[in-house]
Structure 1
Amino acid sequence: MTLPKIKHVRAWFIGGATAEQGAGGGDYHDQGANHWIDDHIATPMSKYKQYEQSRQSFGINVLGTLIVEVEADNGQTGFAVSTAGEMGCFIVEKHLNRFIEGKCVSDIKLIHDQMLNATLYYAGSGGLVMNTISCVDLALWDLFGKVVGLPVYKLLGGAVRDEIQFYATGARPDLAQEMGFIGGKMPTHWGPHDGDAGIRKDVAMVADMREKCGPDFWLMLDCWMSQDVNYATKLAHACAPYNLKWIEECLPPQQYEGYRELKRQAPAGMMVTSGEHHGTLQSFRTLSETGIDIMQPDVGWCGGLTTLVEIAAIAKARGQLVVPHGSSVYSHHAVITFTNTPFSEFLMTSPDCATLRPQFDPILLGEPVPESGRIHKSVLDKPGFGVELNRDCNLKRPYQH
């Protein structure tokens, strides 16, 4: 079979600081008013009074959504979305394009390696540049799957289970339970600057949800880098009587020794998890060495599907789980092939968590949502990632080459 070559790569954005606010899409923090995801959630900025009520107040949604499309010389296209916005468009159109165009559609690993090495001098350990590389990588996998007529999960070797079961991240685990999810993960609302009073308030939230959900439904806390080892340890032990399944991302990503110490001090049976904001394969190797229980890379931020597969192998060698940060179809096609991913995350993007809304709405067409907390592998049996780009969105292409 003679495979086509990549003819062109294009990059658009929606939302972010230079466009309309509340656009949603790949930057799922870019939501409208009165949304749970922006309602007094503890962050590293919460210690500053003017930034404690709203994450958008300190600019969590300034980047917006990056959309990358790659076109083969036979006219077929693949695309993906991530969080990088207008700046990601510049990186794609003015730098990364040279490593993409002219390559065979199957040259995914070659392109990936060239993008990583060519951006080392300004990419650092992740962030905006890695988000952009991730988006390109995902678009390449989408194109390759569409060219050969196979879903991405089959390109990775096929499913190891018939369905993916999900827990839900949002403010209402009790509603998630009614929808059939296996668990609910809540954001913490208080941090070290709030002292023991903050711990008591978050513990009261956990206790209330335990009473509503019963003894067996999973409950977890997402701390979003907002704590220190002492505070996180006290919070974990205070929540232990309520059968908290895990405590997540308590510390900033660079604090590896802190994670090692937190794992050592955590209550028996309570898992310690992190990884959402780690951006390189090397950082995940170091994170794995801390002994945490679950690594949680975001496939749109960690280097793409190519890197996610490598991260899963690192975790598997240590007997650790990999449960990616919710990334919809881009993680679905990966986790159904991983033997060390027994469940996955679904991020509730409806304002009150009362309905199921596709995570990247409105930018993806055909994006599946769980039914009774599950997605069967047959739902993924479409070429590529099985979704299409909604070109009715206000796509902006600020740079061309």
Structure 2
Amino acid sequence: MSTPTITHVRAFTVRGGGADYHDQDHGHWIDDHIATPMSKYPEYRQSRQTFGLNVLGTLVVEIEASSGEVGFAVTTGGDIGAWIVEKHLARFVEGQKVTDIEKMWDQMFNGSLFYGRKGIVLNAISGVDLALWDLLGKVRQEPVYHLLGGAVRDELQFYATGARPDLAQQMGFIGGKLPLHHGPAEGEEGLRKNLELLADMRQRVGDDFWLMYDCWMSLDVNYATRLAQKAQEFGLKWIEEALPPDDYWGYAELRRNVPKGMLVTTGEHEATRWGFRMLLEMGCCDIIQPDVGWCGGITELIKISALADAHNALVVPHGSSVYSYHFVITRHNSPFAEFLMMAPQADKVVPMFNPLLLDEPVPVNGRMKVPDRPGFGVRLNPDCALTRPYSR
């Protein structure tokens, strides 16, 4: 049999949830006074949407093969990402064999190096890469995790990210990660409130349930160190993304300063093997957390994970639904996964990229078997209004 080739690449955008999970209605926990790099400005402190966290929207990439199959993937990127896919990246994909994913990734990355390297360009490359893996799985009638070498465990286990770790415990998750609400600009009172919330949650969940703090790039080394040292009393398992992603030196210092046994984690906003090489070689963290929709896709995550394995670091991808599930189930150094609680009050389990994906699996009692369906095993919801802003 001849190998199918790629005939068409298409890029769409959609608003309201999906991969851009910050694109939510008012009143959602994910937008409720969460510390950010913009929290130094009082006018941008209460809502992350006020400084534009929801402006991008979701990018949907479709890739069609000569044999008729269509692979797709979703990430953040909106109109900007769609332009990059349609006007630049498509030339490296159309006409290629569906199996030549490594070559296509290399050409997309090096072809955009003069203006890319990280950020929105890597989001776009990631979206194309994930769609290519979805397409290859559909052509071969196998789930992506089979293509990656097969499962190393029977099921995934999850911790939950959201405002109510106590409810997550009742739902069977192994831990709960809280958003940090107050940053350095809110002074001692803010620090006290952060610790009071942690103390309250520890009292609710008992001693053995994991509790973590997601600081979303909002702190400096001094504040993060003080928070970690004071949080030791309440059994904080890790402090996540405390500093801006380019402050490798600060992360290395923070890791040296945190209490013994507490983990430093980061990498959600890092990209490519070269960015993660900096984190690992400089001793910045114990767990890296690449987002497969932002770091370069599955193709790059394979390399990042191998690099981490050589440094005895765990890889726990940032919550990215099926795109990380298919990877985590195949890797020994990814022993658990993140699930974002996308219900507005974090009081029930709903699909992470709702409403965009159909057949999106969710944990039951904190566990999940990865569905044995071709590709990533999900479909686009036809009720979601896709727009193709830059058709060719």
TM-score grouping bracket, smaller chain normalisation: over 0.9
Q: Aligned partners of 1:322, 1:288: CA distance in 2, in Å? A: 11
Q: Match for residue 374 of structure 2?
A: 383
The answer on 1:264 being equivalent to 2:256 is yes
Mapped contact 1:333–1:380 kept (Cα < 8 A): no
Shift of 1:171: 0.3
Q: Match for residue 21 of structure 2?
A: 28
Shift of 1:279: 1.7
Mapped contact 2:33–2:47 kept (Cα < 8 A): yes
Shift of 1:380: 2.1
Q: Match for residue 242 of structure 1?
A: 234
Structure 2 gaps of 5+ residues are none
Q: Aligned partners of 2:111, 2:382: CA distance in 1, in Å? A: 31
Q: Match for residue 302 of structure 2?
A: 309
Q: Match for residue 20 of structure 1?
A: none
Q: Aligned partners of 2:195, 2:43: CA distance in 1, in Å? A: 25
Q: Would you identify which runs of 4 or more consecutive aligned residues in structure 1 move more than 6 Å?
A: none
Q: Aligned partners of 1:228, 1:297: CA distance in 2, in Å? A: 21
1:91 to 77, 84, 89: 84
Greater Cα shift, 284-293 or 331-340: 284-293
* CA-atom RMSD in angstroms: 0.7
Q: Match for residue 333 of structure 1?
A: 326
Q: Match for residue 50 of structure 2?
A: 57
Classify the secondary structure of the residue corresponding to 1:78. strand
Shift of 1:66: 0.2
1:200 to 176, 185, 192: 192
Shift of 1:251: 0.2
1:246-300, Cα deviation, whole Å (9 max, x unpaired): 0000000000000000000000000000000002220100011232100000000
The answer on 1:71 being equivalent to 2:64 is yes
Q: Aligned partners of 2:157, 2:39: CA distance in 1, in Å? A: 33
Q: Match for residue 182 of structure 2?
A: 190
Q: Match for residue 11 of structure 1?
A: 11
Q: Aligned partners of 1:347, 1:290: CA distance in 2, in Å? A: 29
Q: Aligned partners of 1:38, 1:308: CA distance in 2, in Å? A: 29
Shift of 1:196: 2.1
Q: Aligned partners of 1:74, 1:158: CA distance in 2, in Å? A: 25
1:78-106, Cα deviation, whole Å (9 max, x unpaired): 00000000111111111111101000110
1:178-230, Cα deviation, whole Å (9 max, x unpaired): 00000000010111112222211101000000000000000000000000000
Shift of 1:389: 1.1
The answer on 1:287 being equivalent to 2:279 is yes
Mapped contact 1:153–1:336 kept (Cα < 8 A): yes
Mapped contact 2:272–2:304 kept (Cα < 8 A): no
Q: Match for residue 126 of structure 2?
A: 134
Q: Match for residue 164 of structure 2?
A: 172
Q: Aligned partners of 1:375, 1:152: CA distance in 2, in Å? A: 16
Q: Aligned partners of 1:249, 1:93: CA distance in 2, in Å? A: 33
Alignment size in residue pairs = 391
1:130-171, Cα deviation, whole Å (9 max, x unpaired): 101000000000000000011000100001111110000000
The answer on 1:41 being equivalent to 2:34 is yes
2:150 to 142, 158, 170: 158
Q: Match for residue 19 of structure 1?
A: none
Shift of 1:400: 1.2
Classify the secondary structure of the residue corresponding to 2:189. helix
Structure 1 gaps of 5+ residues are 16-22
The answer on 1:360 being equivalent to 2:353 is yes
Greater Cα shift, 299-308 or 285-294: 285-294
Classify the secondary structure of the residue corresponding to 2:135. helix
Q: Aligned partners of 1:94, 1:293: CA distance in 2, in Å? A: 39
Mapped contact 2:178–2:213 kept (Cα < 8 A): yes
Shift of 1:64: 0.2
Classify the secondary structure of the residue corresponding to 2:177. strand
Q: Aligned partners of 2:188, 2:34: CA distance in 1, in Å? A: 17
2:313 to 310, 320, 333: 320
Aligned partner letter, 2:119: G
Classify the secondary structure of the residue corresponding to 1:395. coil
Q: Aligned partners of 1:373, 1:166: CA distance in 2, in Å? A: 5
Q: Please, what TM-score do these two structures have when normalized by structure 2?
A: 0.99
Q: Aligned partners of 1:98, 1:120: CA distance in 2, in Å? A: 15
Mapped contact 1:363–1:390 kept (Cα < 8 A): yes
Q: Aligned partners of 1:132, 1:290: CA distance in 2, in Å? A: 28
Q: Aligned partners of 2:92, 2:192: CA distance in 1, in Å? A: 53
Q: Aligned partners of 2:325, 2:63: CA distance in 1, in Å? A: 21
Classify the secondary structure of the residue corresponding to 2:160. strand
Q: Aligned partners of 2:2, 2:361: CA distance in 1, in Å? A: 32
Q: Aligned partners of 2:84, 2:48: CA distance in 1, in Å? A: 26
Q: Aligned partners of 1:248, 1:194: CA distance in 2, in Å? A: 19
Q: Aligned partners of 2:158, 2:337: CA distance in 1, in Å? A: 5
Aligned partner letter, 2:83: F
Identity, % of aligned positions:
63
Q: Match for residue 110 of structure 1?
A: 103
